[in-house]
A and B are shown apart, each in its own frame.
Chain A
Amino acid sequence: GIQVEQSPPDLILQEGANSTLRCNFSDSVNNLQWFHQNPWGQLINLFYIPSGTKQNGRLSATTVATERYSLLYISSSQTTDSGVYFCAVGYNTNAGKSTFGDGTTLTVKP
């Protein structure tokens, strides 16, 4: 099956700093999503981005499907950004039938 690799596995930032999270995948995909899992376990979808670039406030994401990677940018990080960020990819029309990466655990310190 498809392999999904996220980097870095852990990231510690000072509040206000910027960061880039990466997601590499081993095969062609037609859906890719970024999620944030908060400390209580709730998954919040950030972007559905099989290709191209999207921005939402301090977050933006870019997927280069031909090169099999996606990047999530977090600017001016806040303590509430802490948690685990997952990339999930798939190659059929069901968005939910996806393979998740192992996640990047982000800790933002005040």
Chain B
Amino acid sequence: GAVVSQHPSRVICKSGTSVKIECRSLDFQATTMFWYRQFPKQSLMLMATSNEGSKATYEQGVEKDKFLINHASLTLSTLTVTSAHPEDSSFYICSAELIGGGVLETQYFGPGTRLLVL
């Protein structure tokens, strides 16, 4: 099946620093990737839709200057949490949309990145 990787899997940083998370589709091309955030014991909340070669589309309430998304190629999207604060601590998960033969199939998720801001 399709594989999506994320790096790093876990990061601890000091308040005020920026953290970059990479999401890669390893064996397929993804024109569209998605970034989610999940707090403990809660569901996934969509943060933004990342489109290759164009600006990301952010969900209501998500600060685009805080969470910078770059989708520079068909296999890589990055999420940068700028000037991170303790309230940004969360589990960040990316997914990539698989389209086969022009038909939407499903989305595949990366393993997630646990961010802890001290």
Q: How far is the CA of A31 from the CA of B32 in the complex (A)?
A: 16
Interface size class of A (residues with CB under 8 A): 20 to 34
Give the number of residues in B that approach A within 8 Å (Cβ atoms): 24
Residues from chain A with a CB closer than 8 A to the CB of B104 are 31, 93-95
Contact of A86 with B34 at beta-carbon distance under 8 Å, contacts A95-B107, A96-B97 already known: no
Closest to A6 in B: B43
User: In this assembly, does B28 line the interface, its C-beta being within 8 Å of a C-beta of chain A?
Assistant: no
User: In this assembly, does A51 line the interface, its C-beta being within 8 Å of a C-beta of chain B?
Assistant: no
Most buried by B among A33, A48, A95, A103: A95
B4 CB to closest chain A CB (Å) equals: 10
User: In this assembly, does B111 line the interface, its C-beta being within 8 Å of a C-beta of chain A?
Assistant: yes
Q: How far is the CA of A40 from the CA of B113 in the complex (A)?
A: 11
Q: How far is the CA of A94 from the CA of B56 in the complex (A)?
A: 14
Most buried by B among A41, A43, A93: A43
**Quick check: A33 and B107 within 8 Å, CB to CB?**
yes
Query: Can you list, as one digit per residue, whether each of A21-47 has a CB less than 8 Å from chain B (1) or not (0)?
Result: 000000000010101000011111100
**Quick check: B46 and A45 within 8 Å, CB to CB?**
no
For window 59-103 of chain A, which residues contact chain B by CB distance below 8 Å? Answer: 86, 88, 93-103
Question: 9 closest A-B pairs (Cβ-Cβ)?
Answer: A96-B34, A43-B109, A48-B106, A96-B107, A100-B43, A41-B112, A100-B44, A95-B107, A102-B43
Q: How far is the CA of A100 from the CA of B32 in the complex (A)?
A: 18
**Quick check: A96 and B43 within 8 Å, CB to CB?**
no
Closest to B108 in A: A45
A contacts, CB < 8 Å to B: 31, 33, 35, 40-45, 48, 86, 88, 93-103
Q: How far is the CA of A10 from the CA of B45 in the complex (A)?
A: 20
Among B34, B38, B43, B108, which residue has its beta carbon within 8 angstroms of that of A97? B34
- Assuming A45-B107, A97-B34, what are 12 further A-B pairs, CB within 8 angstroms? A42-B109, A43-B44, A43-B93, A45-B106, A86-B43, A86-B44, A93-B104, A95-B105, A95-B107, A96-B33, A96-B96, A99-B46
**Quick check: B111 and A96 within 8 Å, CB to CB?**
no
**Quick check: A41 and B91 within 8 Å, CB to CB?**
yes
